[in-house]
A and B are shown apart, each in its own frame.
Chain A
Amino acid sequence: SQTIHQWPATLVQPVGSPLSLECTVEGTSNPNLYWYRQAAGRGLQLLFYSVGIGQISSEVPQNLSASRPQDRQFILSSKKLLLSDSGFYLCADGYTFGSGTRLTVV
């Protein structure tokens, strides 16, 4: 079965700073990969999904971007963080989720 690795677990960043969150997958090849954001009381919101290397689809307009440089690597980025980017970010492969990254923008 597949395992999703995410890091870091927690992150505190100042407004205007860049962001890079990494997700890697073990135990499967050519997975569909997803980035979700979970805000308090709002459930999980799909941000990006990827069906293969270099293929990214965005679900909502925002300050974030995603990239997939390798088959089992999915990266969430921002050039300049906003306060509203704070939240809990989860990477998933189908229905298996990583342990998440809690981002606080201050």
Chain B
Amino acid sequence: SQELEQSPQSLIVQEGKNLTINCTSSKTLYGLYWYKQKYGEGLIFLMMLQKGGEEKSHEKITAKLDEKKQQSSLHITASQPSHAGIYLCGADWGSGYALNFGKGTSLLVTP
């Protein structure tokens, strides 16, 4: 069974609208990483969350980690075409090595 679920799988929003992407873990998170990916390109690191209740922002993107450290949300305010891409969350479950990834959320921002 999938241990890291992302929702929605895809999202189409009109420019200027807000949106939220969720990432739910079946296990307690030691760290949660958010990435953005353009098609055919590498992953661009956005933010990393470690503490329960933590919230970080970068420009118009805000990410939160819930108190129980099993769910994270990524919120984009006033979306722009430049926000389009695939958003991936990566989980550190404390194994000491690789991140485990969700399947990603494909975001399209229409004019």
Enumerate chain A interface residues (CB-CB to B < 8 A): 4, 6, 32, 34, 36, 41-44, 46, 49, 51, 59, 88, 90, 92, 95-100, 102
Contact = CB atoms under 8 A, between A and B. Distances in A.
B41 A43 contact: no
Given A32-B97, A49-B97, A95-B33, A43 B42 contact: no
B75 interface: no
Contact of B88 (A4, A44, A88): A44
Contacts of B42: 4, 6, 90, 97-100
**Top 10 A-B pairs ranked by shortest CB distance?**
A99-B42, A43-B103, A97-B43, A44-B101, A43-B101, A97-B42, A100-B42, A46-B98, A34-B98, A95-B33
Contact of B45 (A43, A90, A96): A96
Interface size class of B (residues with CB under 8 A): 10 to 19
Contact of A95 (B40, B99, B102): B99
Contacts of B104: 43
19 contacts: A34-B97, A36-B101, A42-B103, A43-B88, A43-B102, A43-B104, A44-B88, A44-B90, A44-B101, A46-B98, A49-B97, A88-B40, A90-B43, A92-B43, A95-B48, A95-B90, A95-B99, A99-B41, A100-B40
Given A88-B40, A102-B40, 19 more contacts: A4-B42, A34-B97, A34-B98, A36-B101, A42-B103, A43-B88, A43-B102, A43-B104, A44-B88, A46-B98, A49-B97, A49-B98, A90-B43, A92-B43, A95-B33, A95-B48, A97-B43, A97-B45, A99-B41
B106 to A, nearest CB: 9
